[in-house]
């Protein structure tokens, strides 16, 4: 096999690899929005927290932490089934900063994770 043919094949394989990687990245589920919206300052405790994704996800773990790192309980209603709209209910939260961390699997089996934050108070 000649050098020119090897270079052509190598270039073609590189282009194909890039195209497949880009296509695969687009196939994973993405958060479309969160509740409360990331960075929101609420006057009162959040009644619900959640997220909407573009494809079904099985949320395997979700935690609500305050600025000190203490975890606050969340009541889930999804039974860990794949959903595009996930919602959980916290107990009444005092003023402060909070972060939601989630882990799960997209409908194509890839592990996914994400975070968003909000504050309560002025």
Strands 111-120 and 40-42, sheet pairing: parallel
Structure-model confidence comparison of residues 20 and 104, the more confident one: 104
105 lies in a domain?
yes
Q: Check which CATH number belongs to the domain holding 81 and give it.
A: 2.60.40.1220
CB-based contacts of 30, cutoff 8 Å, min separation 6: 53, 54, 55
51/34 Cα distance (integer angstroms): 4
- Count of structural domains within the chain: 1
pLDDT tops 90 at residue 63: yes
Confidence of residue 25 (pLDDT cuts 50, 70, 90): very low
Average confidence score pLDDT of the chain: 83
71 lies in a domain?
yes
Q: Residue 69: which domain range?
A: 29-120
pLDDT tops 60 at residue 29: no
């Amino acid at each position: 096999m000649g050098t020119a043919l090897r270079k052509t094949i190598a270039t073609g394989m590189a282009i194909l690899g890039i195209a497949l990687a880009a296509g695969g990245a687009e196939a994973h589920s993405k958060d479309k929005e969160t509740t409360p919206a990331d960075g929101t300052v609420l006057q009162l405790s959040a009644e619900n927290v959640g997220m909407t994704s573009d494809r079904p996800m099985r949320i395997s773990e979700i935690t609500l932490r305050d600025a000190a790192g203490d975890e606050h309980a969340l009541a889930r209603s999804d039974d860990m089934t794949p959903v595009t709209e996930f919602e959980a209910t916290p107990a009444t939260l005092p003023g402060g900063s909070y972060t939601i961390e989630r882990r799960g699997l997209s409908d194509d089996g890839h592990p996914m994770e994400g975070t968003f934050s909000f504050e309560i108070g002025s």
